[in-house]
């Protein structure tokens, strides 16, 4: 089974209108998909569990489009999990399979056998995209890379090696595309850059990543 991740840098900007609303989730879905036996067009949809938690309601413009019984609940495997939708893709068609809401366990609504691919649509907080490059850096990269990107002794001790200084020729010599890849997917033992605390941590959308890279280009050695 293969997995295609549609959030991170490439597609996060498409969902700047996506938000988590308490126990529900509202997401812009850029492709046709099926929810149970219903085929739904691309658009903005809301997802919420029924009060007893036995079913998932899919609605659009406050009108119910599908009601799916839960197969089971899925436990979080990481404190860094983002709100997301998971589709099982079979023969090019995307079928809603999992819904993960912020701070809650996942809801499995479809169990597909072998021979399918996961398409993951992660949801980011729209306010993150409004951060300046310096603001996004201080909320994410600062902890490990230190003030001005000149390193942090405690981070070096934690990773048992000096982390690359962001002012170094090694880092500054990388292209914007290479830096974006590192920020959005991680590098070595370092996870992708995320913002927030606990289970509220989310991937940076593309606009914030671009702003961070522009800020990195202004850094100078002490």
- What pLDDT score does 194 carry? 66
Q: Which domains does the chain have, with CATH numbers?
A: 2-124 (no CATH), 127-216 (1.10.760.10)
The Cα–Cα gap between 27 and 7 comes to: 12
Each residue's pLDDT tens digit, 54-83: 999 999 988 899 999 999 998 866 555 567
Q: How confident is the model at residue 10 (pLDDT cuts 50, 70, 90)?
A: very low
159, 189 Cβ separation under 8 angstroms: yes
- What pLDDT score does 130 carry? 66
The radius of gyration computed from the CA coordinates of the chain, to the nearest angstrom, equals 19
Each residue's pLDDT tens digit, 116-169: 888 888 776 555 556 788 888 888 888 889 989 999 999 899 889 999 899 999
Lowest mean pLDDT of 11-15, 49-53, 205-209, 215-219, name the range. 11-15
Each residue's pLDDT tens digit, 33-62: 999 999 999 988 999 999 888 999 999 988
pLDDT at 20 over 60: no
The Cα–Cα gap between 30 and 162 comes to: 42
Which of 4-31 are b and which e, b meaning 16 or more Cβ less than 10 Å from the residue's Cβ?
ebbbbbebbbbbbebbbeeebbbbebee
DSSP string for the chain: -EEEE--HHHHHGGGTT-EEETTEEEEEE-S-EEETTEEE-SEEEEEEE-TTSSEEEEEETTEEEEEEE-SEEE--S-TTPPPEEEEEEETTEEEEEEEE-TTS-EEE-----SS-EEEEEE---GGGGG--HHHHHHHTTHHHH-GGGS--HHHHHHHTSPPPPTTSHHHHTS-HHHHHHHHHH-BTTBPPPEESSGGG-EEPPHHHHHHHHHHHTT----
The Cα–Cα gap between 190 and 122 comes to: 20
């Amino acid at each position: 089974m293969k997995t295609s991740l549609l959030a991170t840098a490439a597609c996060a900007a498409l969902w700047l209108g996506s938000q988590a609303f308490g126990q529900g989730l509202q997401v812009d879905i850029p492709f046709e998909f099926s929810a149970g036996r219903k085929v739904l067009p691309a658009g903005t949809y809301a997802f919420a569990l029924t009060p007893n938690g036995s079913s998932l309601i899919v609605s659009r413009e406050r009108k119910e489009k599908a009601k799916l019984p839960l197969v089971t609940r899925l436990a979080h495997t990481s404190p860094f999990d983002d709100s997301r939708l998971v589709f099982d893709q079979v023969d090019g068609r995307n079928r809603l399979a999992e819904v993960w809401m912020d701070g809650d366990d996942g809801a499995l609504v479809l169990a597909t056998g072998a021979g399918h691919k996961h398409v993951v649509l992660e949801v980011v907080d729209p306010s993150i995209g409004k951060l300046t490059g310096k603001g996004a850096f201080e909320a994410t990269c600062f902890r490990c890379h230190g003030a001005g990107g000149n390193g942090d002794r405690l981070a070096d001790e934690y990773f048992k090696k000096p982390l690359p200084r962001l002012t170094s020729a090694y880092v500054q010599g990388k292209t914007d595309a290479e830096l974006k890849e590192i920020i959005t997917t991680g590098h070595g033992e370092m996870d992708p850059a995320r913002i927030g605390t606990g289970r509220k941590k989310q991937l940076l959308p593309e606009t914030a990543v671009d702003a961070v890279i522009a800020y990195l280009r202004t850094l100078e050695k002490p």
